[in-house]
A = this chain, B = another copy of it.
C-alpha cells in the first residue's frame, strides 16, 4: 500500500503542476484529490513516527500545525482577494470538519476494529473547556453584541477579543507542555510495547514539512477548480466553502487521525481532531483578524448565525461523546451523522 502511495505521489505531484495547463477542471479535480490522498498518507506516517518520539501531545500539535498552515495560507490569499465571507465560511467548515468529520471518521474506523477505545479523559476535558471558551464565549459575544454597535466598534471589539484568544492559546500550550506536562497522564496513555518509529524525528519533520507544502500547493490549485466543478454539479458557493474546501483542507488531519485510531492510539487521534479545531479557533482565526487589518481588508470576528449555530451544536455533540474518555463505532457514526445534517443545511442554504 505504501508503495502505491509512493508512485501516486511521484506521478501526481508533477502532473498536478503541469496538468493544469492542458486538462479540464473536472479532470484535474480528480487528479488533485488523488494526489492529496497519497500525500496525506505520508503525513500520517510522519505524524505517527513523531508521536512515538515526542509523545501524543507534541505529535498531535505538530500535525495540527502543519495541517492548519495549509488553511492559513489559503485564507490569506482569499483575504487579499477581499473574500472576507469566504474566509469565515471556510474557517467554520474547518471547525465543524475537524470536530465531526475527522473525529467521527477516526472513532468510527477505530471502532470497527476495537469494541471500545479509551483515551485520556483529562485531555478530553481540557479540550472541552477550550472549545467552550473559544466558540461559545469568544465567538458568540461579538456576534450578539455587534448587533447593537457600529461597524467601527465591532472591529475594535474583534481585535481586543482576538488578542485574548491568542494569549490564552499560548497559555494553554504553556500549561500542557511546560507546567503540567505529564501531570494528568493516566495508565494506558503510552503504548504497552515500546514501538520503534519508522522515521527519525528529524526525517519525519522534514517529510511532514515537504508533504504539507505539496498539499498546500495542490489544495490551492484545487480550490481554483472548485468553481467549475460546482457549476457542473450545481452546488452553492457556501456549500463549497464550508464543506468541500474544509474536507480537502483537512486531508492531513483526516489521514493521520484515522490511521492513529485504527492503531488504537486514541490520544493522538483526539489530539489531532480536537487540538486542530482549537488551533483554528484560538490561533488561526484571531491571527487572520489581525492580518485582515494589515492587508486592508478588515474582517470582524463575526460569523453568520448559521455558521455560529453549526459550530455550537458540533461542540456540544463532541463534548457529549468524548466526555467519558471512551468511544465506539456508534459514537463515531453519530458525529458523521451530525456532519451530514449540517451539510444538508448548508447545501440548501
Contacts and interface: CB of A to CB of B under 8 A. Distances in A.
Given A129-B321, A137-B342, 18 more contacts: A115-B180, A128-B320, A129-B334, A132-B313, A132-B316, A136-B313, A136-B316, A137-B338, A141-B342, A141-B345, A144-B309, A160-B344, A164-B337, A164-B344, A175-B328, A175-B329, A179-B330, A180-B328
B344 A171 contact: no
Nearest to A321: B129
How many copies the complex holds: the figure is 3
Nearest to A142: B345
Q: Which of A130, A319, A333, A334 is most buried by chain B, counting CB atoms within 10 A of its CB?
A: A334
A345 B180 contact: no
A323 interface: yes
Q: Which of A160, A167, A184, A331 is most buried by chain B, counting CB atoms within 10 A of its CB?
A: A160
Given A317-B129, A334-B130, A153 B348 contact: yes
A164 B345 CA distance: 12
Q: Which of A130, A183, A337 is most buried by chain B, counting CB atoms within 10 A of its CB?
A: A337
A341 to B, nearest CB: 6
A275 to B, nearest CB: 15
Nearest to A171: B333
A172 B334 CA distance: 9
Contacts of A184: 116
A314 to B, nearest CB: 8
A6 interface: no
A149 B344 CA distance: 13
Interface string A274-296: 00000000000000000000000
A269 interface: no
A28 to B, nearest CB: 30
A175 B330 CA distance: 7
A38 interface: no
Contacts of A130: 334
A335 to B, nearest CB: 9
B168 A337 contact: yes
A137 B313 CA distance: 6
B317 A138 contact: no
Contact of A129 (B320, B346, B349): B320
Interface in A202-239: none
A314 B133 CA distance: 9
